[in-house]
Amino acid sequence: MSLTRSLLPLVCACLPLTLPAADLFGVQFRAFSGQFQLFLDIEANGSVSRDGPLFSPAGGIFGATFIDGTFYASEFENASGNYFLATIPHTGNATGARVGATAIGFSNVEALAWCPVTETLYGASFDFPSHITTILTIDPATGVGTAVGTLPFDVWIVGMACSPDGTLYGATAPFGADVFFSVPRLYEIQTSPGIAGVHIGALGTARPLQSLTWDGANERLGGAFEALHAIDTMTGAATLIGGDFTTDTEGDGIYGLGSINPGDPPDPVPPDIWSLR
């Protein structure tokens, strides 16, 4: 099911480009060596103040998110073609460890997002022959995924993030023959009562943002591939913040971005005083 948001006129509340330090961590693919670089301490302006060591999983790392201070990622195994849920230390040695011996159970799991308000780990699996994205829930204890619904034809989700109020967002990569899907776009992924993709707008970036996260330190939706962006959740427009994750001869961009600070949950709605009478 696909929906389109209708926007009411809004007073612009433009995102500032100078912000407090972000608690961001990213995994950069090294195109020629096949290794991955865990970036530590990505600042709010996109610069990297400290790099983690290179590490070589059996295939690749795609999609990342934090769960209670632990950095989770989707690991692709070349030998079997399976995807596994893994954890990667974000300090010191960056050698990852799989959550369990059982694969997630779905192909091309390139996006992960933890929603603290519902304590749910979501994943997105794309089937290239059918052009369909399946939204999953993944058990953080076992790494096994369960399908909960599908998105419309040609909506290829490559990055996901969850806001403190439980809104799930997905960024797409261009796919298929339809001109509408020829540019990267932002969707809201509704999970109740069923899965539905609500189109928000075009990201406006030349290349897809392969990773999303909710940057709680700066109360914004962040996205990255070649550089760090802030994304307007009402329009989908991405604003370049800075950084360059392709500065060396091997850098190919960020495929997994996570914020250790998920943001503050919304204040509870006080009860209606008349209902207490």
Give the number of C-alpha atoms closer than 13 A to the C-alpha of residue 60, restricted to the C-beta side.
Answer: 19
**Which pLDDT score, from 0 to 100, does residue 52 have?**
80
Specify whether the CB–CB gap between 127 and 135 falls below 8 A.
Answer: no
pLDDT at 248: 64
The Cα–Cα gap between 213 and 228 comes to 11
The whole-number pLDDT of residue 276 equals: 47
The pair of structure tokens assigned to 28 is: 């950069």
Residue 200: C-alpha distances to residues 85, 136, 216 (Å): 29, 21, 21
Per-residue pLDDT of the chain (277 residues; tens, 9 = 90+): 444 443 333 333 333 334 444 589 998 887 777 788 888 888 888 988 888 878 777 678 889 999 998 999 999 888 888 999 999 887 766 677 899 999 999 999 999 999 999 999 999 999 999 999 999 999 999 999 999 999 988 899 999 999 999 999 999 998 877 777 789 999 999 988 888 889 999 999 999 999 999 998 889 999 999 999 999 999 999 999 998 888 666 668 899 999 988 776 665 555 554 444 4
The strand order across the sheet containing 48-55 reads: 48-55, 36-42, 24-30, 251-259
Q: Which CATH architecture fits 22-263?
A: 6 Propeller (2.120)
Pairing of strands 156-162, 228-231: unpaired
Closest Cα partner for 76 from 101, 103, 54, 100? 103
